[in-house]
Structure 1
Amino acid sequence: MDTLTLTPVDSAQPAPAFKDPAAAPPTPIENRLAMPAQNLFKFEQRQRRKLYAPSLWRTPWLARLVTFGGGLALTVYGGWQMYKVIDVGGVTTLKWALLALFILNFSWIALSFASCVVGFVALLSRRASAGLPETLREKTAVVMPIYNEAPSRVFAALQTIYEDVQATGLGESFDWFFLSDTTNPDIWIAEERAFIAIRRRLGPGARIFYRRREKNTGRKAGNIEDFVSRWGGAYAHMVVLDADSLMTGPTIVKLAAAMEADPDSGIIQTLPLIINRNTLFARVQQFAARIYGPVIATGLACWMGRDGNYWGHNAIIRTEAFASHCGLPDLRGRPPWGGHIMSHDFVEAALIRRAGYAVYMLPRLGGSYEESPPSLIDLSIRDRRWCQGNLQHSRVLFGRGMSWASRQHFLTGIFGYLTSPLWLLQLLVGIVIVFQASYFKPEYFTSEFALFPTFPRFDAERSLELFALTMGILLAPKFFGLLVAIYEPETRRGSGGVIMLLISTLFEIVLSALLAPIMMLIQTGHVVHIVFGFDTGWDPQRRDDGSVPLIDIVRRHRSHMAMGALSLVAGLLISPSLVAWMSPTIAGLILAIPISWLTSQRWLGLVFRRAGVLVTPEETTTPPIAKRGKALSKALARGEEDEVNAIVAIHSDPELRALHEAWLPTRKPRQRGAITADRAVAEAKIADAETIEDAVAWLNRGERVVALSDRALIGMIARLPRRADLQEAQAAE
């Protein structure tokens, strides 16, 4: 069948009329922007742009004084109290090590506590958000990077967002892009089929485009860079989504209006709330993010001011500024420390801020949603990738020209993972000290001359007081979030009232305490693997609510359970009081397998939901966009086309085949003798096949990708008969 002739669409002009919307080109005419890689360690002040609206640049000195001054004061006080705890009878080398580890860990929670105090006060004085603008002057692209995702989910999500933006009456100011990095051939063809379908559903006026990269250079950051370099010149801004993102139309329109009203803004970040979660583990995350998240995010927004951070999605970006200043270099050396910068969002925020643009968050805007991993194992898989990216920031931390706030964001990310091994070391040093005092003759007289011996003892009463202070500071952000939720009528009623809020908060605290030691060992393992040079790779994220097989859970957590049992036995041999002190940690580790299994179960999460525990306002009154997205996703999934074998799909659907061939990139003629092994094998297998069923059975995943990328091989596939047809023809002869 002849391929369709496609005329590129000019992104600056109204879409030409096509009788069939699917026949329109998959991408608009390119409008290129140069996006050079930046030098992280060379920058001069004269390179920073001048401000267009200096009146908007107010430094939040009071919020910063409370956050960092308060955090420092608490750390000094906690460190002094810890010194008094261990000073009974003198301080040994091990006690000094324990003190140092305590200060490092305590400073982290003290800073978080002080920031949450700022957020708590700010939330109690909440102001109403601005209404919708009447018009928008500039064009915005809404881009969704996808990587081996279920097409029914992502195409339903983008259509839902598109419809909500259209309902504002300002839909003409937005174009929509699926940016595919998919490597699975079955999902690739399913994406194309879903793209054809969404264009037909929405009609010829919908400016929705689809582009698939053949090489995933730079991963997600490279995906966005490819879009900016090829089409960024046509758009003043771009809203970046994740594959699990949902944003309401008013929120997207308000972001575009905020960007237009602030000529110095570079990135404006929203606060995504977690929705649509059903497993117990995900529901705990959903509840915590909804009740405690606003306090944490508002505190961050207050002290950051216009020196903020970017989380990689559900944000709007000034396209030209991003292209000029956010091209990421590869770090010297091999992964995991070198190569592509994995946690690109923090670095992009630091670079655009270095250039003189503002980066800030609007935590009260609302209408921004995402999903979370459904189980502890899924979280650990994602967490390992984040761990590598954040530890990589140690090589970016001292980049030239970056603001101190950007460096603080890097440190926050780095210590977010280093606290786990530091906590483990603190526990181990404490155990060794108790063990030394119980089983070995103490070193009463040190190498220095002293009239009195040094006894390895602690001040028990002061130790309990310090423990209470630490727990209070650790739990205070949850308490602040609970108070705000009770204070706000909609949140209080939507969460089941005061009593259910208290029950849900108590349950979340207990379960989080049991999960904490498991995550400590998981993250410590991640850090150790990365330190020893093991790269994470790039695996697609599991987003559904399916339960994890018990065998996988046992395999993943058996070492944690063994560590808990060993700790219990050792603690009993050393001192019963040590077991009491470590009981939350020991219990969490011993119960790692049942906790991980139970929390991954969808049915148990639904039991808690029906009981009214861990309920959020977005569940009580589901946002219309979430309702529509879920219904549309289910309707599209009923077609069962997400993972139909790509060879079968291309062979059986001539129209899909014609469009697929037309959308393949133009290639230079192959030079004689330049034959790749994959292509040669794929061609040989297809040539040897008598039926399409043979080709399907013989071609592996990599060979299917090659075959589907080559027009000549597609033609060979199209000419293969079905086995039933061949047998019928042979019988007729």
Structure 2
Amino acid sequence: MTDLPVSADLRIAPLTAEPLASPPAFPSPVPPEAPIPMPVQRLDRWTGPSATEVDGPPTSATQVTRIFVFGVAALLSAYGVREMVGVVSAGGIVGLEWPLIVFFGLTFSWIALSAASGIAGFVAGFFERRPTDLDRPLGVVTALVMPVYNESPARTLGALEAMAEEIIALGAGEHFEIFVCSDTTDQTVWVEEELAIDRLRGRLGGRMKVWYRRRHKNIARKAGNLEDFVTRWGGRYEHMLVLDADSLMMGETLITLARLMEDDPKAGIIQTLPVIANRNTLFARLQQFAGRIYGPVIARGLAVWHGRDGNYWGHNAIIRTRAFAACCGLPELKGRKPFGGHVMSHDFVEAALIRRGGWAVYMVPWLGGSYEESPPSLLDVAIRDRRWAQGNLQHIAVLPTRGLVWPSRVHFATGIMSYLASPIWLALLMVGLALALQARFIRPEYFSKEFSLYPAWPRFDSERALQLFIITMGVLLLPKLLGTIESILRSDIRKRSGGTVSIIVGMLLETVVSALVAPVMMLLQSRHVAEILLGADSGWKTQRRDDGGIPLAEVIRHHWQHAAIGAMMALAAYVISPAILAWMAPTLIGLLFAVPISWTSGSLAAGLWLKRRHLLLIPEETDPPAILAAAAHAQSLAQADLPEVEDGLTAVVEVPAIRAVHARMHLPIPLRARGRPELDPVMAAAKIDEATHFDEVLAWLGQKERMAVLCDPHLIAAIDRLIVEPEPTPTIVPAEAAPAAAPSPLPTS
């Protein structure tokens, strides 16, 4: 692209001198439609065969692993509950001690299942075998489908270009096509997307096809976006490899997934283990370290007991298109939001339904080269978590679905419990505090109304309580310890992560920060659950992906309540006894310092400081895969090449090159998507008709109205009459060449 001088009156810079010409092979932004029917599934009825009748029963190895995982989890839970009963039964179990036992049993069983799964993953690592016959040519075409929603086009398209170049270099370019499915609602981002797609088409030439579609109605969010793709173009592709806007995968990984799908005709979804990479803030680096060091053990544990009844995380996975179309038409849930309406956490539901249809769903944790990014701060995680909490609690209505295999119900239950665990933990703390208050201020009744030879002393077994605390911490930290041990034992990971000392120090640092953050997340998630139960919808917000910090004022606004709650709890504990204050200290410290902890979590300086000292390192930093560097280079080139569009409508109206790209990339609104005329196009047309200058149009039109104008070529053309051509600049003659002017007559009185 050619840069031109930037005028102070123009709202974009730099501009393109000539329209960005697409290759002749792609005159349309989308390929010819190849529709597949996608019937809406019934959750209350299933008349088909069971999944095991179609795909076969679990292997003996999977069955043994399941017995081990759930057996160990049950034994640990029973032991923990028995110890808790022993702690509180020193003087008899009465009153609030019963709910204390119940809440503890729920939380302990939750971490016991995670510990048992981690043990299975650690042991399975010694027997892991990778297929060796994956070097044959591909036979079908796979779509790289990337749904986007108001994302940075340079970032997303740069990553796609890097993936495409690696695939092409490996000789498989004709077996993949890029398909960007946009749900963007920001008119400026929309225009930027079109320019970026047009640029990517030019850079890839005819080596790989690139398609782009923006939906006019964002029905059912990401699930509806994928459904629209499948029902209109799904018949063109045997497989679709679903990517998130922050996804990045090695070309070899993409090709291997396609080969695995071709080799297993019963496979419906094959999920990779995405590794967080390219993160630099403190919080993001902690997540990155935890995912890389502990993640493989945890993921392998899930994979070995899931077997072919696995789960799907919504991205970095390959899906058989016709299986998805036949099984994954999602119904609207009954009732009002937040429980009713469109399914939000659709990936779990799609995995369960596609498994119900007899297709296998499984993970390949041995396959590397799958990457993603993470939110840069605690607050960004909390914003994302609000949406995830609503989606997982929605699954309460999906749990009774007929025909599901039991592991699918376990997936739903664990997702629900991952958010209910916070209010249960909070209730456990409140009950414990209430018991302590009762013992301190309420006169006990040593003798009940019923006849008893012995008094009911309200006391606890403090020695046994300490032992139970140590056991609980051990069960909680076991997956982390196993992941750390495995990383140290594997020389390639150990050396590229800074060595044994760096890994151990990183594990301790991550554990301490996680312990400080956990109470804050407990209150945040408890609030999220309460809001959802009261009927508050999460909406759909764009996720922040850069490394910029959050202003301190905003951090204080979000966390002052957590600090205040921590102060009140600390005061109450101190009034009761110093021992109670010490017992609650791990929770209280995180709450009291919620503001500085959250603010520091988004600090880029803190993250880079640790990186320079070889702490929280992962192998992908010390020995970066080529795809990471290629993606970063492609993104920087895209940012340099693409014009900086400050307003989409202005760019399309005033710059012929951008208007030409928009005309090529914008599809007419399909009849089925039109429905009733909306207010915005009508009002926009009226305002354009009344305006006498383009500046008035810009002042009068809102964002939705500008989107409506960009959707209608006639409205864009109607604005042309308002564009005032700049007057020619007069020629300035140098002073030495100008003729001498006659003196002006002086005014006379």
Q: Secondary structure at the match of 1:93?
A: coil
Which residue in the other structure is 1:29 paired with? 32
Which residue in the other structure is 2:324 paired with? 322
Which residue in the other structure is 1:106 paired with? 108
Q: Secondary structure at the match of 1:38?
A: coil
Indicate if the aligned counterparts of 1:22 and 1:196 stay in contact, CA closer than 8 A.
no
- The C-alpha deviation readout for 1:419-459, integer Å capped at 9, x for no partner, is 00000000000011011101110132334332322222110
Which residue in the other structure is 1:8 paired with? none
Letter in 2 for 1:381: I
Indicate if the aligned counterparts of 2:276 and 2:371 stay in contact, CA closer than 8 A.
yes
1: CA distance, partners of 2:320 / 2:105: 41
Q: Secondary structure at the match of 1:638?
A: helix
1: CA distance, partners of 2:671 / 2:350: 38
From 612, 636, 639, the counterpart of 2:638: 636
2: CA distance, partners of 1:91 / 1:57: 45
Letter in 1 for 2:626: P
From 499, 513, 516, the counterpart of 2:515: 513
> How many pairs are equivalent?
707
**4+ runs deviating over 6 angstroms:** 726-729
Which residue in the other structure is 2:565 paired with? 563
Cα 1:642/1:582, change in 2 over 3 Å = farther
Q: Secondary structure at the match of 1:125?
A: coil
Indicate if the aligned counterparts of 1:301 and 1:361 stay in contact, CA closer than 8 A.
yes
Which residue in the other structure is 1:6 paired with? none
- The C-alpha deviation readout for 1:637-667, integer Å capped at 9, x for no partner, is 2356465211121023324323423444445
Which residue in the other structure is 1:393 paired with? 395
Q: Secondary structure at the match of 1:145?
A: strand
- The C-alpha deviation readout for 1:62-96, integer Å capped at 9, x for no partner, is 21111100000110111111101100111012001
2: CA distance, partners of 1:379 / 1:668: 37
Task: Give runs of aligned pairs for residues 325-724 of structure 1, distance below 5 A.
Answer: 325-639=327-641, 641=643, 643-666=645-668, 676-722=678-724
Cα 1:675/1:298, change in 2 over 3 Å = closer
2: CA distance, partners of 1:77 / 1:714: 71
Indicate if the aligned counterparts of 2:50 and 2:403 stay in contact, CA closer than 8 A.
no
Higher alpha-carbon Rg? 2
Letter in 2 for 1:144: M
Indicate if the aligned counterparts of 1:353 and 1:402 stay in contact, CA closer than 8 A.
yes
Indicate if the aligned counterparts of 1:650 and 1:718 stay in contact, CA closer than 8 A.
no
Cα 1:47/1:615, change in 2 over 3 Å = closer
Runs of at least 5 residues in structure 2 that lack an aligned partner in the other structure: 1-20, 731-749
Which residue in the other structure is 1:182 paired with? 184
Cα 1:254/1:447, change in 2 over 3 Å = farther
Cα 1:480/1:48, change in 2 over 3 Å = closer
Which residue in the other structure is 1:5 paired with? none
Task: Give runs of aligned pairs for residues 280-295 of structure 1, distance below 5 A.
Answer: 280-295=282-297
Cα 1:496/1:131, change in 2 over 3 Å = farther
Which residue in the other structure is 1:311 paired with? 313
Indicate if the aligned counterparts of 1:338 and 1:392 stay in contact, CA closer than 8 A.
yes
**Which segment is superposed worse, 25-34 or 678-687?**
678-687
From 78, 81, 87, the counterpart of 2:80: 78
Letter in 1 for 2:726: D
- The C-alpha deviation readout for 1:38-61, integer Å capped at 9, x for no partner, is 001100244769647x59955611
- The C-alpha deviation readout for 1:542-575, integer Å capped at 9, x for no partner, is 1111111111100000000101111111111011
- Per-residue deviation at 1:727? 9.5
Letter in 2 for 1:403: V
Q: Is residue 66 of structure 2 the alignment partner of residue 64 of structure 1?
A: yes
Which residue in the other structure is 1:725 paired with? 726
Which residue in the other structure is 1:296 paired with? 298
Cα 1:459/1:727, change in 2 over 3 Å = farther
Which residue in the other structure is 1:222 paired with? 224
Letter in 2 for 1:106: F
Q: Secondary structure at the match of 1:725?
A: coil
Indicate if the aligned counterparts of 2:142 and 2:258 stay in contact, CA closer than 8 A.
yes
Q: Is residue 46 of structure 2 the alignment partner of residue 38 of structure 1?
A: no
Letter in 2 for 1:91: I
Indicate if the aligned counterparts of 2:269 and 2:362 stay in contact, CA closer than 8 A.
yes
Indicate if the aligned counterparts of 1:382 and 1:541 stay in contact, CA closer than 8 A.
yes
From 272, 275, 298, the counterpart of 1:273: 275
Cα 1:554/1:22, change in 2 over 3 Å = farther
Indicate if the aligned counterparts of 2:58 and 2:307 stay in contact, CA closer than 8 A.
no
2: CA distance, partners of 1:254 / 1:357: 19
Sequence identity of aligned pairs in percent? Answer: 50
2: CA distance, partners of 1:728 / 1:78: 85
Indicate if the aligned counterparts of 1:264 and 1:357 stay in contact, CA closer than 8 A.
yes
**Which segment is superposed worse, 453-462 or 361-370?**
453-462
2: CA distance, partners of 1:284 / 1:515: 12
Which residue in the other structure is 2:14 paired with? none
2: CA distance, partners of 1:44 / 1:320: 19
- The C-alpha deviation readout for 1:218-258, integer Å capped at 9, x for no partner, is 10000001000001111111100000000111111111111
**Which segment is superposed worse, 644-653 or 237-246?**
644-653
Cα 1:676/1:476, change in 2 over 3 Å = closer
Which residue in the other structure is 1:11 paired with? none
Indicate if the aligned counterparts of 1:664 and 1:709 stay in contact, CA closer than 8 A.
yes
From 89, 92, 95, the counterpart of 1:93: 95
Letter in 1 for 2:689: A
Q: Secondary structure at the match of 2:82?
A: helix
Length-normalised TM-score, structure 2 = 0.91
1: CA distance, partners of 2:277 / 2:528: 28
From 181, 191, 199, the counterpart of 2:201: 199
- Per-residue deviation at 1:725? 1.3
- Per-residue deviation at 1:164? 1.2
Q: Secondary structure at the match of 1:238?
A: strand
Q: Secondary structure at the match of 1:535?
A: coil
Cα 1:676/1:390, change in 2 over 3 Å = closer
Indicate if the aligned counterparts of 1:151 and 1:642 stay in contact, CA closer than 8 A.
no
Which residue in the other structure is 1:149 paired with? 151
Report the RMSD for the aligned CA atoms in angstroms.
2.0
Q: Secondary structure at the match of 1:471?
A: helix
Letter in 2 for 1:725: P
Letter in 2 for 1:63: T
Cα 1:137/1:80, change in 2 over 3 Å = same
Cα 1:444/1:718, change in 2 over 3 Å = farther
Cα 1:71/1:467, change in 2 over 3 Å = same
Cα 1:130/1:692, change in 2 over 3 Å = farther
Letter in 1 for 2:706: R
1: CA distance, partners of 2:272 / 2:678: 46
2: CA distance, partners of 1:667 / 1:530: 35
